Every structure is written in structure tokens, then in C-alpha cells.
Structure 1
Amino acid sequence: MCRVTAYYRVSTEGQGRSGLGLEAQRQSVRSLCASRGWDIVSEFTEVESGKRGDRPQLQAALDHARLTGAKLVVAKLDRLSRDAAFTLKLRNSGVDFTCADNPDVNRLTIGLLAVINEDERERISERTKAALAAAKARGQRLGNPNGAAALRRAGKGNAASVAAIKGNADAFAEGLRDTVGRIRAEGTTSLAGIASELNARHMKTARGGKWHASSVRNLLARLAA
């Protein structure tokens, strides 16, 4: 029987305390192991950004897997890292690992997926910057695009200011359209689930904060409009 060391990661302490994101990862890994007849012998949980390379729980999971000959299993590749070089280093560490959402990858394809994930992250950033730059070029003022307080400050009679705020919010939402579509296509459709995925992918709200169900609802309504 294949022995498994499971590794779970969330990016914020709030997600760690609430279990938001962690339970979905556990369910994904446990479902895979049950379907394959694999035995989970150890589990490691980390609350840390995927950008950091010095993650003690990941190192402990790798050490345990190496010493016991277990397979390291994560729910998704980005739970290890969104940095291709880091993932490729893990691939060459001597530990066999796989992802519950794509369990049949091999050493070649997992390297390709790592590069694709990093490219996706960079493209998301580029699209968001381009959308905001286009809004700015049209004369729309940037900053606090979604806030009701900003709309109140603009005043009901100041149509130009209101239009600028709305245009900026539309541009920001458009930069996230592909990402949200991909998340939903992967099976995450609830507002809380989409918020968790956006936070896990280090996507910030227009104000630079964390996503919640309410902010996702507003985002989806703007994209639908």
C-alpha cells in the first residue's frame, strides 16, 4: 500500500483559524487517497504565503516523506508554491509528490504545470495593470473604486466623478474575469469558496484587502453587468 504524507497550506491566519480552505484541501486529498487505496500516515498544515520558500511545515513534510518513503500529496499544485523554480527544486528533491486535482501527472508534466501556473499569475497581474492604465488614460481617477463612501463623496450631482469611479471599478473587475472563470470551471462556485480561492492566489480587492463573500458578490454582479 502506498503511504502518503499530506501537506495543506493557507495564506492567512484568519483562514487557518476558521478552517476556510483547509477543509476543502483535506477532503480533496482524502478522497484521492481513498479512491486509490493509499494510506495517509502523516499530515502537515502551514499558514504561510506561497511566495515564501522557508516554510518549516513543508520542510517537515518533505523530511518525513523522504525518511519513510511516503508520497507527498497536496490538494493543488499552488499549495506547494506558485514559483516555478521552487516547485522544480522540490521535484528534484528525491520525494515523490502529486496533486489531488491532477493525480496522474509525472515528473515532466508537473514541471510544465509549475511554469504554466507562474505564467498565469504574471498574466493576471499584467491584465489588471493594463486595465487600470487604460482607465487612467481615459481620464478616470484611480483609487478606492468600489467604496460606497467614495460614491457619497463624489455627490449625487457630480456625474463625472461617479462615472470615473464606476469606470475604474469596471476595469479592475475585468482584470479578474479570467481568474474567476477559471475558479468556477474548477468546481468552486460558492461566494465563500471563490473568496477563499482569490485569497489563496494572492489576489487583492480593489482596496488592497482580503476577499469575502460580500465582495465576491459585488464583483460577480459587476462582471455580469
Structure 2
Amino acid sequence: MSVQSRRAVTYVRVSTARQGASGLGLDAQRSAVQSYASGVGLSIIAEFVEVESGKRADRPQLTAALAACMLHRATLVIAKLDRLARNVHFISGLMESRCEFVAVDMPHANPLTLHLMAAMAEHEAAAISERTKAALAAAKVRGVRLGNPNGAKHLLAGCDVTPVFSSSWS
């Protein structure tokens, strides 16, 4: 997509808290979008950072970034298309909206290319899910105990609920 605005809003995202804590993925994306923006003469007016799975539709920082783009008539700049979403429907909807965006890894992509790349990203997300499920099933067969060893104990912290069940029930 062409960059019509001289203002940019950047959006960087990683999927897990551990990736967010390390900061490496965020720093790499931030560097890519800043380098691109300075190379084409864009002024970054805001940055939005999110640590959230790309599968989730409710990503508050992405929503805020898109709102900022609309408000300031700015271009949304992302490092890679799959950081935005791995969903053809979402990318297609964004392409139809009034929000201009550019993926730094393919800044001259046309609508056909964006649709194809979104389809590939969606396919890869499904493949990752299948590989993960297969690996967890194999681990379970080997006797690896899956899940949180403390169960839902952390959800009870600060909870002031009296048990409803009586020990006198037989």
C-alpha cells in the first residue's frame, strides 16, 4: 500500500508474556518500523505495544492504534503482516477500512499480495496449532504431566468465598 500520510502510528506485538519480558521480539519489530519510517520520511506520532496472541480478536492496543490512525490520518506501520493478524478476514476487513497500513517486510505489496500473504499466515497458524497439539499428545503418552501443577489455586487468591458444601453430607 502506498504511504499517503506523513504521520505514522506503529504497532508491535508478541504472543506470550515470556516474549514480552525478554523484549527481543518487540525491539526487533520496533527497530524495523522506525528504520522504515525514517527511510520514507514518516513522523512516528504514537507507538502501541501488545503482548497478546494473534488468535484473539479483542486486542485493545491494536484497536487503539487503529483509532489513532483514523484520528490523526496516519498510516499504521507494522514490522510483518503476521504481527497484525494471521486471519484473512481480519486483513481483508482492514484493507476495506479507511485505515492505511504498511507491513515493513513488504512495503510495496498490492491487495492481491496482501490477501495471499494473509492466507499463508492463516495456514501457518493452523499448522502451528496442529504441531502443538500433536507434541502435547505425544508428551502425554510419554507420561508428562500437562497443565499447571497448582491447578486453579491462583484464582482463589484474594477470594472471600465460604464453601457451600458441608462435610456432613453423606
Instruction: Name the TM-score, length of structure 2 as normaliser.
Output: 0.72
Superposition pairs of residues 54-203 of structure 1, within 5 angstroms: 54-123=58-127, 128=131, 142-143=138-139
The number of aligned residues is 142
Higher relative contact order (CA 8 A, sep 6+): 2
**Which of these residues, 23, 27, 38, is aligned with residue 23 of structure 1?**
27
Structure with max Cα Rg:
2
Equivalent in the alignment of 1:45: 49
Task: Report the Cα distance in structure 2 between the residues aligned to 1:5 and 1:120, rounded to whole angstroms.
Answer: 27
- Following superposition, the deviation at residue 144 of structure 1 comes to 6.5
- Following superposition, the deviation at residue 18 of structure 1 comes to 2.5
Gapped runs of 5+ residues in structure 1? 133-140, 151-206, 209-225
| Superposition misfits of 4+ residues, deviation over 6 angstroms | none
- Following superposition, the deviation at residue 15 of structure 1 comes to 2.1
Partner deviation per Cα, 1:83-107 (whole Å, 9 max, x = no partner): 1112212222210001111111123
Equivalent in the alignment of 1:138: none
Task: Report the Cα distance in structure 2 between the residues aligned to 1:11 and 1:35, rounded to whole angstroms.
Answer: 28
Alignment partner of 1:115: what SS?
A: helix
Task: Report the Cα distance in structure 1 between the residues aligned to 2:51 and 2:127, rounded to whole angstroms.
Answer: 26
Classify 1:142/1:19 alpha carbon distance in 2 versus 1 (closer, same or farther; 3 Å). Answer: closer
- Following superposition, the deviation at residue 125 of structure 1 comes to 5.0
Contact 1:48–1:55, Cα closer than 8 Å, also in 2: yes
Q: Which has the higher helix share?
A: 1
Gapped runs of 5+ residues in structure 2? 148-170
Contact 1:82–1:117, Cα closer than 8 Å, also in 2: yes
Instruction: Name the TM-score, length of structure 1 as normaliser.
Output: 0.55
Contact 1:10–1:16, Cα closer than 8 Å, also in 2: yes
Alignment partner of 2:139: what SS?
A: coil
The percentage of aligned residue pairs carrying the same residue is 47
- Following superposition, the deviation at residue 23 of structure 1 comes to 0.2
Classify 1:142/1:60 alpha carbon distance in 2 versus 1 (closer, same or farther; 3 Å). Answer: closer
